[in-house]
Structure 1
Amino acid sequence: MRWVTWSNIYRLGLKELKSLGADKVLLILIAWAFSGAIYTAATGASLELRNAPVAVVDEDQSPLSRRIVDAFYPPYFSPPYQATLAELDKGMDSGRYNFTLIIPANFQRDVQAGRKPDVQLNIDATIMSQAFIGSTYIKSIALGEVNEYLTGTRNSTQTPITLSTRVRFNPNLTGVWFGGVMEVINNVTMLTIILVGAAFIREREHGTLEHLLVMPLTPFEIMLAKIWANGLAVLLGASFGLIVMVQMVLKVPIAGSVPLFLAAATCYLFAAASIGIFLSTLARSMPQFGLLIILCIIPLLMLSGGVTPRESMPQLVQDIMLAAPTTYFVRLAQGILYRGADFSVIWQDLLAMTGVGAAFFNLALFRFRKSVTQTQI
């Protein structure tokens, strides 16, 4: 009897793979999610300061002021535009400049005399991702040029200690490294829930689910077959995205073991697919399922620690997200791929993720059996 059960699961999974292979739209979605979407997410949405437009009003026209103006160059800033005071407000209002710097008259003379002239910096704060970084860079550039002009060194402040900064795991603070890997992690979540849930909805809408239920099959076998079949498709896509797109195309070094990540992802697929089945038992049609996906996916992706650190979230949100398997998967995936963590580091997250996944699976199985009973009645 046990062999027949696993044989049924295997054959039902093959049927699911054939159905998926015949659905061109879903195949295109999978292909895009683990190829073009990874590349655009890594290169298109940069959190770094890149070619920020700057306008400078140089009322001093001295060697020191020109030295400061010439210090703004790519890749952080575009070549500065020499503007007049009358042009600044219009340029800022139209979004032409992100930063405007006003160097007052007699700037060099006041600096040499030991006075502290005011240099005005205007920032377009609607670009929140670059406003703070850009202002810090501009301040550092201006102070560095003044110090080097006066003393020959860019550091004039004497402190009792020397702070030696070493950046680990991403020495150049390259945003592409973060964006590409996180897109793979996020798409594993999104596609698993969508594929498994859509498979159930499609079976129900076409009437084939009732055909399966009159056969000597159990809801457990039907669920497990859809999980392994759709999970296999997602796992193959994630492998391609990580090895080909991230490592080969984007040239992002993976610090840890790719097989270990894929093994952990296999456990996570079980949990994410259970969420997809649970949502499909709540929805009566594909449009309803799509709306539930929106309500479910966004919190899972935004609050799992992949976009912002969990420590910066309210404590209530942190506690609620402990019931989501995504929280543990993002943490262990980042540990493996970014920091080279091995099994001894991630086993607790892996165990917690599997436990939460088992809870969702049993909940989805209960809902599925309940819906089957209602259908038969």
Structure 2
Amino acid sequence: MRASTVFHLGVKELRGLLRDPMLLILIAYAFTLSVYTGATALPETLNKAPIAIVDEDSSPLSVRVTSAFYPPYFVAPKVITKSEMDQRMDAGLDAFALDIPANFQRDLLAGRAPAIQLNVDATRMTQAFSGAGYVQSIVSEEVAAFADRYRSSAALPVDLTLRARFNPELNKGWFGAVMNVINNVTMLSIVLAGAALIREREHGTIEHLLVMPITPAEIMVSKVWSMSLVVLLASAFSIVVVVQGVLRVPIEGSIALFMLGTALQLFATTSMGVFLATLAGSMPQFGLLLMLVLLPLQVLSGGTTPRESMPEIVQTLMLAAPNTHFVMLAQAVLYRGAGFDVVWPQFLALFAIGVALFAFSLGRFRKSLA
């Protein structure tokens, strides 16, 4: 294998990528807008949910309950009439409509158990799922405080002090931003490496290469290093500019150490992309294979849900996937500020998996050329 040949072939791949506007747009979107929207969209906590209140009691208690709904969980509640409630719910103007009945305060003080009707727009799943609990908690707290004439807290036998480490604000965006970068590193590396091989096959340039004094290993290594370089630079830009700069997510550990782990991850995933391209005859077939491989890699690697919550057989099988070790490495370095002395097992696993995938893909690539 000649280094100069591998270098010039890699430069050829980079030039071919520059002439493909769709792939360039995909790279730019994946590491900018995709990361931003993934970190800020669909919050798990309730955020600015629209609520309307029908106050048929007009008592101090009903006013107190109405004033308890405020941002950031809810927008300022809109007081409406009972005849408007169904109409506004049908029009999708309110996610919640709270109906406080007449004589609510009088029945409460008389020892009765008055009921309040809560209507929820269940088409807004993210808000409806958690919002009903928020409304019930707020109403119960205000009613209890009014009935007791003061705000009281139950005396607990144990004083529990909460210390949220690594994410003291419990901000979902901090987690989502980094996880989107990790997922896009895997996706883009497989796509770019596979597309580079399929593009040459469709254009007929692979036959031109085979009549030259070039080995299959040199062709594959050139695709691996060139496409890995593109994704590595894009991910570094995303971490520094989008995650740290725009989203203001604090990075505790060394970005250089994370980039080194990313390079090992790219070594494995670009080899996987070449292997999938040898199985597929065209880009549509490659896309179908990509979905079958990419979804399990991302969902079962621990980036979406903790690995401990998965069946043991899945945990064991996913140890053979590079994503599992990359997620562990990235979370340890970027979130918890871990050094190489902590994450060296993940580095070693990524290197071993990358070598195995490269050797396997190279063997398959040679057979496909034959």
Question: What is the CA-CA distance between 1:184 and the residue it aligns to?
Answer: 1.2
Q: TM-score, normalised by structure 2?
A: 0.91
Pick one of 331, 336, 346 that aligns with 2:343.
Answer: 346
Q: Which amino acid aligns with 1:182?
A: M
Corresponding residue for residue 70 of structure 1: 67
Pick one of 226, 248, 251 that aligns with 1:251.
Answer: 248
Q: Which amino acid aligns with 1:42?
A: A
1:250-269 equivalences in 2 (<5 Å)? 250-269=247-266
Corresponding residue for residue 217 of structure 2: 220
Distance 1:116 1:167, change over 3 A: farther
Q: Is the CA contact 2:189–2:266 (under 8 Å) kept in the aligned structure 1?
A: yes
Q: Which amino acid aligns with 1:278?
A: F
Task: Tell me, in whole angstroms, the C-alpha distance in 2 between the residues paired with 1:102 and 1:121.
Answer: 6
Pick one of 124, 127, 130 that aligns with 1:130.
Answer: 127
Pick one of 357, 360, 363 that aligns with 1:366.
Answer: 363
Pick one of 239, 242, 247 that aligns with 1:242.
Answer: 239
Question: What is the CA-CA distance between 1:86 and the residue it aligns to?
Answer: 4.6
Matched residue count: 370
Q: Is the CA contact 2:61–2:105 (under 8 Å) kept in the aligned structure 1?
A: yes
Pick one of 256, 259, 283 that aligns with 1:286.
Answer: 283
Q: Which amino acid aligns with 2:115?
A: D
Between stretches 42-51 and 65-74, larger displacement belongs to 42-51
Question: What is the CA-CA distance between 1:297 and the residue it aligns to?
Answer: 2.0
Identity of aligned residues (%): 56
Q: TM-score, normalised by structure 1?
A: 0.90
Corresponding residue SS for 2:242: helix
Corresponding residue for residue 272 of structure 1: 269
Question: What is the CA-CA distance between 1:87 and the residue it aligns to?
Answer: 4.3
Distance 1:124 1:312, change over 3 A: farther
Corresponding residue SS for 1:57: strand
Deviations 1:116-165 (A, max 9, x none): 43333343444343334323322332233234434565443232122222
Q: Is the CA contact 1:323–1:356 (under 8 Å) kept in the aligned structure 2?
A: yes
Distance 1:204 1:170, change over 3 A: same
Task: Tell me, in whole angstroms, the C-alpha distance in 2 between the residues paired with 1:109 and 1:160.
Answer: 35
1:1-377 equivalences in 2 (<5 Å)? 5-151=2-148, 154-373=151-370
Corresponding residue SS for 1:308: coil
Q: Aligned Cα RMSD in Å?
A: 2.3
Q: Is the CA contact 2:42–2:126 (under 8 Å) kept in the aligned structure 1?
A: no
Task: Tell me, in whole angstroms, the C-alpha distance in 2 between the residues paired with 1:114 and 1:352.
Answer: 66
Q: Is the CA contact 1:261–1:336 (under 8 Å) kept in the aligned structure 2?
A: yes
Distance 1:120 1:236, change over 3 A: same
Question: What is the CA-CA distance between 1:292 and the residue it aligns to?
Answer: 1.6
Distance 1:37 1:371, change over 3 A: same
Structure 2 stretches lacking a partner, 5+ long: none
Question: What is the CA-CA distance between 1:197 and the residue it aligns to?
Answer: 0.4
Task: Tell me, in whole angstroms, the C-alpha distance in 1 between the residues paired with 2:57 and 2:335.
Answer: 48
Q: Which amino acid aligns with 1:230?
A: M
Question: What is the CA-CA distance between 1:243 and the residue it aligns to?
Answer: 0.2
